Amino acid sequence: MKRIGVFTSGGDAPGMNACVRAVVRAAVYHGLEVYGIMRGYSGMIKGEFVRMDSASVANTVQRGGTILKSARSQKFMTKEGRQQAFDQLVNNGIEGLVAIGGNGTFTGATIFEQEFGIPTVGAPGTIDNDLYGTDYTIGYDTAVNTALEAIDKIRDTADSHDRCFFVEVMGRDSGYIAIPCAIGGGAEIVMVPETAMSVEAVIETLQNSYSRHKTSFIVIVAEGEEEGNVHNVARRVKAALPQLDTRVTIVGHIQRGGSPTAADRLLASQLGIAAVEGLMNGMKNVMAGIVDRKLMYTPFDDTIHKRKVINQSFMRMVEILSV
């Protein structure tokens, strides 16, 4: 393999640039040519390729977002679109790909390899930390710390005014952000997609705490919570407990931005190098990840279809610490 491409796809995550940097410099170190593919699969179809070298990624390790941009591509979901992407890669002599993204990115890469034989090794770039085959994903640590900083500030206001704040954090399919935020932020309750906590159970817990003369509360709600969005949860609680002064805060997309933490920079660098070396060793349709502090390559099929299980002891920890 003489020439590879690297792209970021799906939602941006802090540390993606550190991973791109690692891919580029690992390729240069091993004597490979490397091209950055702008705007993910959309740019692949259009041939938006940029030759990269060590200088191309200077002063990027600390930057949030992605210098290669990211975009969702409906066209790549069609055979015609994938054919156009393949033709662009062939015309530019690109023989392998490093994909930095999540499930959707890896699903596309799997189909693409099956149809056209272009090998891809992935690096897990998503703040949700919901990918099977790695203990942590690139961007997760930063997102948790960003959300926790906001929750700390909300706690000050909740305490000052004796209020109950319902705080929504990201996590459409996973409570991996919500749970550490609840523990680290001193929340009384956490609602996540993986557990069946009803609004009635929330009401009961708050009522019991209120009867013990507790006057301020933080309830963390993951955006994918099955009981509905944070506004619906807060409205139902307020109807049952009118004595509570309730407020809603959505932390939102600030969780996806910002300078990555040291942990995310280290992880991104490690996995970027591993992805390049995986391609050089003939791997395809696998994701580089860290499991029990060891580098592992997990098949995309497992990453896509196997569910990463929440540590239930953390849920118990929230309950114990909220007393």
For 46-82, the pLDDT digits (tens) are: 999 999 999 999 999 999 999 999 998 999 999 999 9
Confirm whether residue 172 is marked as ligand binding: yes
CA atoms of 128 and 21, how far apart (whole Å)? 22
pLDDT above 70 coverage of the chain, percent:
100
Confirm whether residue 25 is marked as ligand binding: yes
pLDDT digits (tens, 9 = 90+) for 273-322: 999 999 999 999 999 999 999 999 999 999 999 999 888 899 899 989 98
**Kind of pairing between the strands at 189-191 and 96-101:** unpaired
Which residues belong to CATH 3.40.50.460 in the chain? Answer: 143-255
Q: Which residues have C-beta within 8 Å of that of residue 188, sequence separation ≥ 6?
A: 205, 206, 209, 214, 217, 218, 219, 322
Residue 227 reports pLDDT greater than 80? no
Residue 221 reports pLDDT greater than 90? yes
| pLDDT band per the 50, 70, 90 thresholds, residue 173 | confident
For 243-269, give one letter per residue: b (16+ CB within 10 A) or e: ebebebbbbeeebbbbebbebbbebbb
CATH class, 3-139+260-305 region: alpha beta
- For residue 66, the model assigns a pLDDT of 98
Other residues' Cβ atoms within 10 Å of the Cβ of residue 55: 9
- For residue 172, the model assigns a pLDDT of 85
pLDDT (average), residues 250-265: 97
Catalytic residue numbers read 128
Residue 228 reports pLDDT greater than 80? no
Residue with tokens 């705007």: 39
| Average pLDDT, rounded, for the chain | 96
Residue 270 reports pLDDT greater than 80? yes
H or E, element range at 291:
strand 286-291
Residue 206 reports pLDDT greater than 80? yes
Q: Which CATH number fits domain 143-255: 3.30.70.580, 3.40.47.10, 3.40.50.9100, 3.40.50.460?
A: 3.40.50.460
CA angle 217, 219, 225 (to 5 degrees): 165
Residues 65 and 35: beta-carbon distance below 8 Å: no
Confirm whether residue 169 is marked as ligand binding: no
Residue 114 reports pLDDT greater than 80? yes
Residue 225 reports pLDDT greater than 80? no
pLDDT (average), residues 191-212: 92
- For residue 288, the model assigns a pLDDT of 98
Which residues belong to CATH 3.40.50.450 in the chain? Answer: 3-139+260-305
Torsion of CA 272, 273, 275, 277, to 10 degrees: 170
3-state secondary structure of 137: coil
What's the half-sphere exposure (Cβ side, CA atoms, 13 Å) at 191?
28
| pLDDT band per the 50, 70, 90 thresholds, residue 218 | very high
- For residue 199, the model assigns a pLDDT of 95
Confirm whether residue 45 is marked as ligand binding: no
Confirm whether residue 186 is marked as ligand binding: yes
pLDDT (average), residues 95-113: 97
Handedness of CA 138, 140, 265, 15 (dihedral sign): positive
